[in-house]
Structure 1
Amino acid sequence: MNAAMIKLPPGSLIDGWQVAKALGDGGFAFVFLGEKNGRHRAIKVAQHRESSGDLKQTHARTLRELTALLMLDHPNIVRPQGYGFAESGNVYLALDYVEGWTLAEWAERKHPTVREILGVFEKLAGALSYMHGRGILHRDLKLSNVLIRKSDGEPVIIDFSCATYTLAEDLTDGGVPPGTDRYRAPEQFKFLREHRDEHRARYAFQVADEIFAVGVMLHELLTDPRPTEFRPRFDLNSLALPPPPPRLVNERVPEELSYLVESILARDPKKRPVDTEALRRELAELRADPSSDYEVPVHPPSEQRHGGSRPESLEMPSILQSLQRHVARVEGNRGQGRRRALLAGIVAMVLAALVLSFAGGPAGPRIAAGPRHPVTPHSTPPETTPPAMSIPSP
């Protein structure tokens, strides 16, 4: 199958499924809303594109996704309903169709309070804890891979194209698994740098990486009133400089929550929550805080895409000012003299780099490979044996 697949018009057939509309596409598949015998499903068709990087593994990756999903049964994780082969011979999955918004769209449209955001992330952490307990890692958590169902407001984790499980065949050609650069933990970039001459070196993705990705999502929702827009943002996984605390960027973020996000995004994976169940408990504790600070919309609706008039300038001044406040706080904790002068020099370089990124220069790490240090036992999912693929063909 070639790129023409994405141009399938409504009414086209995929193994008896009538295409209603295209839902999206990624590096490994195209997704359509399909209807058959009154049932609506998300039909995900394996697709190789040059951006995929692994010509021989596209189908194998889709079948591995199916295997991982067959090992899961959780209300906040998308469910498989069948599989088959398109007319071209490409394998496809039939998945629950979740009518709703991506997490970023939901934040812009619904103007959630801090407590509502915590409720969503508590459920996501619970789903991840369940998943990790079965030896499965998603490996591509991001705002667009979480849907909020319109009917009941429940979050649903989707797109297991990059997922793996214990004892699964390694399908990665590069140093790090497939994924999205912005959500990768900084230790992946460190691994790439340290092993750039070792072509067979492979990064062992762990629960700590998954936790970091959750932190990136949470930081984005708390600090960016319009996360669906493509525009320059802080690099949250820089090896050189930790991200600014959310409260410095957005004063509506409660201090305790800001501290938690800082710990989730710690450069040292050992300083992050020990696992996703521990993270869930911390989120639940904050959500139960009776303070009125948690009842306030995290962003003024007027600053959001669907909340009012479009602000002329939202990002550049506020980001620079926030970074300056962040640096001032760090500087104030470092003492006087030579350290202060050295930090001031570093700050100048960081600010210059940020300005360049806004002007179209490099905005952060971009990768093609990557692992990290040996991880502590708590970060290793238990061994599991994948089940036989007994789900019926649709």
Structure 2
Amino acid sequence: MDQPPRIGRYSLVRRVGAGGFATVWLARDEQLDAEVAVKILSDNWIEDEDVRRRFLAEGRFLRKVDSLYVVGVHDIGEAEDGRPFMVLTYADGGTLAERIKAGPLEIAEVVRVINQVGRGLKHLHSRGVLHRDVKPANVLFRTDPAGDRAMLSDLGLGKSLAEVSRITMPGGTPAYVAPEQVRGERLDHRADLYSLGAVAYAAFTGQAPYGVASLSAVMQIDTPPPSMATLREDIPDAIDVVVRRALEPDRDKRWPDLDSFLTALRDAHTTGEVPPGLVPAAEMPTPTAPPADVDQATALATANRSTVATKPKRSVRGRVIAGLVAVVLAAAGAYGGYELVLTRPVKVEYQNLSVEVPRDWSQKSENADGPSLLVSKNTSEWQNNNATEGVFLGISNGTTLPRTTTPPAGCQPATPDPPNLEGQSLVTFRYSCSEASVDEQFRLLDGNKVLRVQVRDDNPERRAAVLASAEYTP
């Protein structure tokens, strides 16, 4: 795969992650002789001021904190083509999400990791920053001489405590977000505490606390999740009640602060005794499961996707936000909210290709040559009618990005955005058509392959969301 030799003063080694909004490279700081991660905004978002603002805001939030347990920002700059980049602590040990996927962690290991992540949150809060998107995918590990260390990352949804003291835009990841955050209420540190409890629940059991994958379903949660002992027999009763108290939907019933939760968790693990004032899990009433919008397997598959909901027109505390859920896709850094006004998207897969689409794109066509995948409202009309909503993914051999393409019938030709492709890993063409709008993206992949993704839809936010979700997994 072609790659620029360097960004700023940093020599690039290899790409470690990429998505529709940013690319992350393992790089070497030659002046300090150290490995770092360089996160750079994707070239097709260079003119989007809102995306640039969110990208730079994350860097500013991270710079406020000097903590072993928060990914550090060592430098912020601008590449030769004008794209902003930030230089981060390189985490060589993967993510907590990857470890959970392999199976529940050892109890002592979970207690250690949650305490380290909790320290990172405390450091953020002490600097006046609320994370708002604590989840397993945002917990990274860095190898130290004494073992590995958990670190919080990705403050794309981060807010200053001064900002969240007012009613703010709802958002978060459904499986891990506090109900009050979804309702757009005034937030405090207990929102992050709830999310940390949800991460602990997932690390202990291998499953997120609730089978929910949309913000509207989160607002219907009114009891703590089922006992972890129903999912894992060796979970001590004391640890179970400590974690479930952190997951109280009513924040006034949660632990009052992070110190209380972390201390109780350590004591429960060390002594095996239920903390004073708490009721053993065996004596607690069985909670009523919230109306889940998906089964547990589907919820786990989407559990690490951040979402931002449309703000209610009437700022009434606790009022249900009806029907609008937006997706912020986090793959090597995802920024910006995209409204999916229709139903929750579904993931469609074929061989190494996958993409998330609206549910009414219910027809699929597959081809092993390449391979390729077409998901649409009407696959038979795809070639003849550019107004047919859908997405096409295809793989071809190649080492360079195209500078021109052949647009669909009835669409005006487009030039790359931006036209300078030197050192870039993707390029996006946007067509203006007689009956619809079309976005087409080409991405360079490892192994001298090119991924082509074409999305047709009148909704620009939905086109962007589908485009960003498209993936090829070698």
Contact 1:239 1:267 (8 Å CA) reproduced = no
Q: Which has the higher helix share?
A: 1
Partner of 2:242: 260
1:176 to 2:170 alignment: yes
Distance verdict in 2 for CA 1:215–1:238, change over 3 Å: farther
1:139 to 2:132 alignment: yes
Taking the aligned partners of 1:49 and 1:162, their CA distance within structure 2 comes to 21
Partner of 1:186: 179
SS of corresponding position for 2:80: coil
Partner of 1:381: none
Q: Alpha-carbon deviations, 1:270-312, whole Å to 9, x = none?
A: 1111111222212221232269xxxxxxxxxxxxxxxxxxxxx
Bigger radius of gyration among the two: 2
Deviation at 1:163, TM superposition (A): 1.7
Deviation at 1:93, TM superposition (A): 0.6
TM-score normalised by the chain length of structure 1: 0.63
Alignment identity in percent?
A: 23
Matches within 5 A, 1:269-288: 269-288=251-270
Q: Alpha-carbon deviations, 1:20-72, whole Å to 9, x = none?
A: 2222246753211122414321111134879x9x9422222232222222221
Partner of 2:14: 21
Partner of 1:45: 40
Q: Which amino acid aligns with 1:207?
A: H
SS of corresponding position for 1:181: coil
Higher relative contact order (CA 8 A, sep 6+): 1
Taking the aligned partners of 2:271 and 2:44, their CA distance within structure 1 comes to 48
Distance verdict in 2 for CA 1:126–1:16, change over 3 Å: closer
| Among 286, 302, 323, the residue aligned to 1:330 | 286
Distance verdict in 2 for CA 1:290–1:222, change over 3 Å: closer
| Among 196, 211, 215, the residue aligned to 1:234 | 211
Contact 2:104 2:205 (8 Å CA) reproduced = no
Taking the aligned partners of 2:138 and 2:176, their CA distance within structure 1 comes to 12
Q: How many residues align?
A: 295
SS of corresponding position for 1:34: strand
Partner of 2:327: none
Distance verdict in 2 for CA 1:286–1:204, change over 3 Å: same
Partner of 1:154: 149
Q: Which has the higher strand share?
A: 2
Contact 1:47 1:58 (8 Å CA) reproduced = no
Partner of 1:127: 120
Partner of 1:32: 25
SS of corresponding position for 2:286: helix
Deviation at 1:10, TM superposition (A): 4.5
Contact 2:180 2:187 (8 Å CA) reproduced = no
Deviation at 1:114, TM superposition (A): 0.8
Taking the aligned partners of 2:270 and 2:79, their CA distance within structure 1 comes to 48
Deviation at 1:357, TM superposition (A): 8.4
| Among 158, 163, 173, the residue aligned to 1:163 | 158
Deviation at 1:233, TM superposition (A): 6.5
Taking the aligned partners of 1:92 and 1:264, their CA distance within structure 2 comes to 36
1:245 to 2:223 alignment: no
Partner of 1:198: none
SS of corresponding position for 1:154: strand
Contact 1:65 1:164 (8 Å CA) reproduced = no
Taking the aligned partners of 1:111 and 1:209, their CA distance within structure 2 comes to 24
Deviation at 1:180, TM superposition (A): 2.2
Taking the aligned partners of 2:310 and 2:285, their CA distance within structure 1 comes to 34
List runs of 5+ in structure 1 lacking aligned partners. 1-7, 192-202, 292-325, 332-345, 375-394
SS of corresponding position for 1:147: strand
Q: Which amino acid aligns with 1:157?
A: L
1:67 to 2:60 alignment: yes
Partner of 2:187: 205
Deviation at 1:350, TM superposition (A): 5.2
Q: Alpha-carbon deviations, 1:133-174, whole Å to 9, x = none?
A: 22111121110111122342211111222222245699x9x8
List runs of 5+ in structure 2 lacking aligned partners. 274-281, 319-474
Q: Which amino acid aligns with 2:170?
A: V
